[in-house]
Structure 1
Amino acid sequence: MTFGISGGRRAAAVLLTTGAVLVAGPLVSPAAAASSAAAPKVSAKGAFLMDAGSGKTVFSKTADTKRQMASTTKTMAVAVVLDTKGVNLDKKVTVKQTYRDYVAKNGASTADLRTGDKLTVRQLLYGTMLPSGCDAAYALADTFGTGSTVSARTKSFISKMNAKAKSLGMKNTKFDSFDGISKAGNNYSTPRDLARLARHALKNSTFKAVVKAASTKQKATAKSGGTRTYTWYNTNKLLGSYKGATGVKTGTGTAAGPCLIFSATKNGKTLVGVILNDNNRYADAGKMLDHGFGKKTTSTLKVRPLPQGAQQD
């Protein structure tokens, strides 16, 4: 990604066309300190791992230091939609040219939504989380915000994101963006706060299904009245690379660096982790998960490659 705060690369594949501060020293949690000899060394500026079942800390490194979070922001956008009372996931949303213009202006990651196409809310969730589509996130914000203009509705939606953060006890988090593109830089969180968010979101079956998918093909109603098939690949390369990985979201930005919210389940135990600003995010996520599952890391993680032309984030 080349723009300021959030992640983006090339256009996602679409059938019929071609088409995603405050630094402190490391802190190891009491739980991890008990086995400090086995605690992993990670290059992340901030990292956190929790047991999703108990909520207990497994590993921690500057977990309460506020940092830019790039497109991991979209995790909250999707959580707000899914937590909306009476949400209709089959509701159809018409893609506006405004969403495409926004992506083009910001050089943002995209689901390559086509103007006039009609996609369901459920499909927009996939478009937001897999190729990290800022256009899909914009469509959700515009649909689920309130107000008489697009600007008012997106502002309203961001307010809902902040209200949700407060309700989840995310005390060191602030959103000024629905997708992580923050001109003012007031879009930040901490590893601990984002782990709380992920733990909450993963309780929703739809969220779990979306973030676990390595890829998806979605048929939407094209503007012409025909059918367009969107093909999206998950930018989270931990899926298919680490056995038991189940999600969650990538993010990359100039200020944020490479970020990752991740989860994995083994033998009935689920771990949720967060890495902020780490050029070795996948390898370090693997180390953290091995530590949490009581497994010694003996080899380098072989990261799943994405198809040519797929979004990178």
Structure 2
Amino acid sequence: MRKFARLLQTVVLGALIAVAGHGLAAAPAASDTHLPLPWVTRGPEGVHASGAALADGLTGTVLWSRELNTSLPIASITKVMTALVVINSGALDRAVTVPGEVVGYCAEHDGSTAGLVPGEVLTGRQLLYALLLPSGCDAAYALAEAYGPGQGGFIAAMNETARRMGLGGTNFTDPSGLPNPTDHSTYSTPADLVTLGLRAMSLPVFREIVGSRSYGVPAGPGNRAHLWETTNGMLGDYPGAVGIKTGNTDAAGTCLLFETVRAGIPMIGVVLHSSDYSADVAQADAERMLNWAYNPILTALPIG
């Protein structure tokens, strides 16, 4: 029975990808793309996001989208690229001293913080938890200073990485996604963010971090104690949620890049500007999209 279930799962997912690909090729340009999947006749209802995409988590084939290639502010989803640049450096255990400038940087832009103290020393790996769980803009600044080296060098590396990945609708001017220098200077598209999310989630260290609901660092000779908790409410709330990143600024509204795995079937998606301020609305948008895709599949699979 288990082998049969796995075979059926593969057949269902293969059909989803094949028909979705056909639907994308044949569909006219529109604000909302609804694909004629064999067991779904229309897209998810009640999604508030200005831009959105849902894709299968194996190939990145888009199953449903809204403004797929429209560039929009992405707020702290930017930190996914920040983490990717740091991880690609291969030097996660290097000691990083938190610079004094983090206080003014976060205060000037009203950025979320991980409670870092100037002068304390943490590893790059620890700072990635501070970056991705509580969405610490202070951690983003500290990592950029250390791995750039400097803000300018690091932002250049972010944009070069985006260029190599083919993210043509993406631009970074700040390692946190804060409105620096303007509300709209850091931006991306739903299509680009699906690609970025897939790349980041393919890295075990990144996947482990964003799948964590909390992470603690004990006090040491060079640092205070920290306990960081994720801002991603889908972890623990939605079955199969495995990550990845929230975001919120005045211009971007509430945003969420997310991935789930149910019955062994991965889905990845993003919602941009679901609401001006409510993270709950962004999460509800993501859940509506996922339920639209998963419910018919899970009904068809003989898996408990």
Amino acid at match of 1:183: P
For 1:30 and 1:284, the matched residues in 2 are separated by 18
- Conserved? CA contact 1:201–1:207, under 8 Å: yes
1:114-263 correspondence to structure 2 within 5 Å: 114-146=117-149, 153-181=150-178, 182-184=180-182, 185-221=184-220, 225=221, 228-263=224-259
- Conserved? CA contact 2:86–2:92, under 8 Å: no
Residues 1:32 and 1:193: Cα distance change in structure 2 (over 3 Å): farther
Residues 1:72 and 1:226: Cα distance change in structure 2 (over 3 Å): closer
For 1:32 and 1:65, the matched residues in 2 are separated by 24
For 1:46 and 1:156, the matched residues in 2 are separated by 30
For 2:98 and 2:156, the matched residues in 1 are separated by 23
- Conserved? CA contact 2:35–2:43, under 8 Å: no
For 1:105 and 1:27, the matched residues in 2 are separated by 37
Please list every run of 5 or more consecutive structure 2 residues that lacks an aligned counterpart in the other structure.
Answer: 1-28, 276-280, 299-304
Give the drift of 1:39: 3.5
Residues 1:296 and 1:40: Cα distance change in structure 2 (over 3 Å): farther
- 1:179-202 Cα distance to aligned partner (Å, 9 max, x none): 111222211101111110000000
Is 1:275 matched up with 2:278?
no
For 1:71 and 1:80, the matched residues in 2 are separated by 15
Mean alpha-carbon deviation: is it higher for 234-243 or for 35-44? 35-44
Secondary structure of the structure 1 residue equivalent to 2:168? coil
Secondary structure of the structure 2 residue equivalent to 1:72? helix
Give the drift of 1:281: 0.9
For 2:203 and 2:291, the matched residues in 1 are separated by 25
Give the drift of 1:29: 4.7
For 2:71 and 2:39, the matched residues in 1 are separated by 26
Give the drift of 1:123: 0.6
RMSD of aligned alpha carbons:
2.0
Give the drift of 1:227: 5.6
Secondary structure of the structure 1 residue equivalent to 2:64? strand
Residues 1:25 and 1:231: Cα distance change in structure 2 (over 3 Å): same
Is 1:74 matched up with 2:74?
no
Residue equivalent to 2:22: none
Residues 1:44 and 1:25: Cα distance change in structure 2 (over 3 Å): farther
Give the drift of 1:40: 3.5
Secondary structure of the structure 1 residue equivalent to 2:245? strand
Residues 1:220 and 1:168: Cα distance change in structure 2 (over 3 Å): farther
- Conserved? CA contact 1:290–1:296, under 8 Å: no
For 2:168 and 2:39, the matched residues in 1 are separated by 27
For 1:57 and 1:245, the matched residues in 2 are separated by 19
Residue equivalent to 1:10: none
Give the drift of 1:37: 3.1
Give the drift of 1:25: 5.9
Residues 1:190 and 1:213: Cα distance change in structure 2 (over 3 Å): same
Please list every run of 5 or more consecutive structure 1 residues that lacks an aligned counterpart in the other structure.
Answer: 1-23, 147-152, 298-313
- Candidates 24, 43, 63, aligned match of 1:58: 63
- 1:169-225 Cα distance to aligned partner (Å, 9 max, x none): 11111111111112222111011111100000000000001101111111253xxx3
Amino acid at match of 1:291: W
For 2:72 and 2:87, the matched residues in 1 are separated by 25
- 1:138-166 Cα distance to aligned partner (Å, 9 max, x none): 111111113xxxxxx21111111111111
1:28-67 correspondence to structure 2 within 5 Å: 28-30=33-35, 35-37=40-42, 39-67=44-72
Secondary structure of the structure 1 residue equivalent to 2:156? helix
Q: Which has the higher contact order (CA 8 A, sep 6+)?
A: 1
Structure number with higher helix proportion = 2
Residue equivalent to 2:12: none
- Conserved? CA contact 2:35–2:42, under 8 Å: no
Residue equivalent to 1:307: none
For normalisation by structure 1, the TM-score amounts to: 0.79
Mean alpha-carbon deviation: is it higher for 211-220 or for 255-264? 211-220
Give the % identical residues.
38
- Conserved? CA contact 1:118–1:220, under 8 Å: no
Amino acid at match of 1:255: A
- Conserved? CA contact 1:31–1:57, under 8 Å: no
- Conserved? CA contact 1:31–1:58, under 8 Å: no
